[in-house]
């Protein structure tokens, strides 16, 4: 199976399955001398791990990371960094009754069409559990970005019909509720909405917004490797994400050119933009303003509510999917979005060092 590698200079390769022995990632291209520890990485993994609230799967996984290579005496050596996360609480028997059934909105049917064979235990590589490896790699990328003063903050912007009110936005509140919402009033409404859905054996989708501050200008290329194109690809690779917009996004289709254009202003020796409808890029290249990205996350497809489907024998059947599943994926995906954006930006920073001759002169002279 190809397609498990991301990046050009800062390259990651993830491996493992939801119900296999372990998951892991190999990072190739991390500069030497970066201070990193398992505790640094664990902070982000703890935000993603299951069993944290009434609104996540009850599967109990500590998601403890172990660094196998590439770090010596607390610093990266410049060689490949390999990390492993062992699965401790898998219950594969929960899926035995589904091995010949195509679950709605899951990868079962497409996997059989492509490979003629699939790992039916928790969707194998297509499981959301694969993102633990991405988060581990993203934590390393985040440490690099922090060295440059780049700040990445993602949060739940909406769950179902409940959206964050900009007037109640407080970044400090993101870590103060199970749903990672910066608006505590919206968080209470969303919790009540989810509680009702759980009673009905149903699930919810939502949106995640991510803002990147202090990103240098000049990253990305103007054709296929636009910064916004690479970010969209990376975030869309998260299994539950069904849409990505940057800046004004789909609202741009309803605006006039005069409304949408970000007017320039010169003051105190600096060129700035009066608005940021572009979301931080112009012509695919970062312009120094904040990158603003939103991701639409689908409802959890595994629900105990009766659904219509078919089995491998071609029979029409009804199923109620039992097991341990998140009633909403959004809160645990917040840190995954941060990780994917971190990985892309570090790769772009490394590639941009070769964009101009004066950059090379600055390093080697």
Q: Which residues pair with 156 in a beta bridge?
A: 208
Number of domains in the chain: 1
Per-residue buried b or exposed e for 163-199, using 16+ beta carbons within 10 Å of the residue's own CB: bbeeeeeeeebbeebbbbbbbeebbebbbebbeebbe
Residue-wise pLDDT tens digits, 65-86? 999 999 999 999 999 999 999 9
Residue-wise pLDDT tens digits, 95-104? 667 788 888 8
Residue-wise pLDDT tens digits, 29-46? 999 999 999 999 999 999
Confidence of residue 94 (pLDDT cuts 50, 70, 90): low
In this structure, how many other beta carbons lie within 10 angstroms of the beta carbon of residue 201? 13
- Decide if pLDDT at 350 tops 70: yes
Q: Could you say which DSSP state residue 287 is in?
A: -
Q: How far apart are CA 66 and CA 68, in angstroms?
A: 6
Residue 1 pLDDT: 55
- The burial of 7, by beta-carbon neighbours within 10 Å (0-12 exposed, 13-18 middle, 19 or more buried), is given as buried
Report yes or no: 86 and 16 within 8 Å, Cβ to Cβ. no
Q: How far apart are CA 168 and CA 230, in angstroms?
A: 32
Q: What is the mean pLDDT of residues 87-98?
A: 67
Residue 194 pLDDT: 94
- What lies within 8 Å, CB to CB, of 14 at 6+ separation is 4, 23, 24, 25, 130, 133, 134, 137
Residue 34 pLDDT: 98
Give the rounded distance of the alpha carbon of 201 from its chain centre.
26
Report yes or no: 223 and 275 within 8 Å, Cβ to Cβ. no
200 is in which domain, residue-wise? 5-364
Q: How far apart are CA 148 and CA 137, in angstroms?
A: 18
- The DSSP code sequence of 56-123 is S--------EEEEESEETTEE-SSPEEEEEE--S--GGGGGGGTTB--TTSSHHHHHHHHS----STT
- Decide if pLDDT at 92 tops 60: no
Place of tokens 């200008």: 217
Q: Which of 20-24, 106-110, 202-206 has the lowest mean pLDDT?
A: 106-110
Q: What is the mean pLDDT of residues 44-61?
A: 75
**What is the length of the chain?**
365
Residue-wise pLDDT tens digits, 110-138? 888 888 877 777 677 888 889 999 999 99
Report yes or no: 206 and 187 within 8 Å, Cβ to Cβ. no
Residue-wise pLDDT tens digits, 131-189? 999 999 999 999 999 999 999 999 999 999 999 999 999 999 999 999 999 999 999 99
Pairing verdict, β 71-72 and 316-319:
unpaired
Rounded to the nearest integer, the mean pLDDT of the chain is 92
- Decide if pLDDT at 24 tops 90: yes
Confidence of residue 302 (pLDDT cuts 50, 70, 90): confident
Residue 324 pLDDT: 59
Which CATH number goes with the domain that contains 356? 3.60.150.10
End-to-end CA distance of the chain: 44
Residue-wise pLDDT tens digits, 216-238? 999 999 999 999 999 999 999 99
The structure's pTM equals: 0.93
């Amino acid at each position: 199976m190809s397609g498990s590698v991301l990046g050009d200079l800062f390259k990651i390769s993830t491996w493992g399955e939801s119900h296999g022995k372990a998951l892991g990632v190999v990072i190739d291209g991390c500069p030497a001398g970066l201070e990193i520890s398992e505790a640094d990485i664990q902070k982000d993994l703890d935000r993603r791990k299951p069993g944290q609230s009434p609104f996540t799967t009850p599967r109990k996984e500590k998601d403890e990371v172990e660094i196998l290579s590439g770090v010596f005496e607390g610093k990266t050596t410049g060689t490949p960094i390999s990390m492993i996360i062992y699965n401790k609480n898998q219950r594969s028997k929960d899926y035995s009754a589904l091995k010949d059934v195509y679950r709605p909105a899951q990868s079962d049917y497409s996997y059989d069409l492509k490979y003629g064979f699939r790992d039916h235990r928790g969707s194998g590589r297509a499981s959301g559990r694969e993102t633990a490896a991405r988060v581990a790699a993203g934590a390393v990328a985040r440490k690099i970005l922090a060295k440059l003063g780049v700040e990445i903050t993602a949060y739940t912007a909406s769950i179902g019909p409940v959206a964050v009110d900009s007037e109640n936005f407080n970044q400090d509140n993101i870590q103060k509720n199970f749903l990672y919402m910066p608006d505590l009033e919206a968080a209470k409404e969303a919790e009540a909405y989810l509680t009702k859905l759980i009673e009905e054996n149903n699930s919810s989708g939502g949106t995640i917004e991510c803002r990147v501050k202090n990103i240098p200008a000049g990253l990305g290329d103007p054709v296929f490797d636009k910064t916004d194109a690479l970010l969209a690809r990376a975030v869309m690779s998260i299994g539950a994400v069904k849409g990505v917009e940057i800046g004004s996004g789909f609202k741009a289709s309803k605006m006039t050119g005069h409304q949408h254009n970000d007017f320039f202003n010169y003051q105190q020796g600096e060129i700035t933009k009066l608005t940021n409808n572009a979301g931080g890029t112009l012509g695919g290249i970062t312009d120094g303003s904040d990158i603003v990205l939103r991701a639409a996350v689908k409802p959890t497809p595994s629900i105990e509510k009766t659904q219509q489907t078919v089995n491998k024998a071609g029979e029409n059947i009804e199923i109620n999917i039992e097991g341990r599943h998140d009633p909403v994926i959004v809160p645990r995906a917040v840190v995954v979005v941060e990780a994917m954006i971190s990985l892309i930006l570090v790769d772009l920073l490394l590639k941009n060092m070769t964009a101009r001759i004066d950059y090379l002169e600055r390093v080697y002279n």
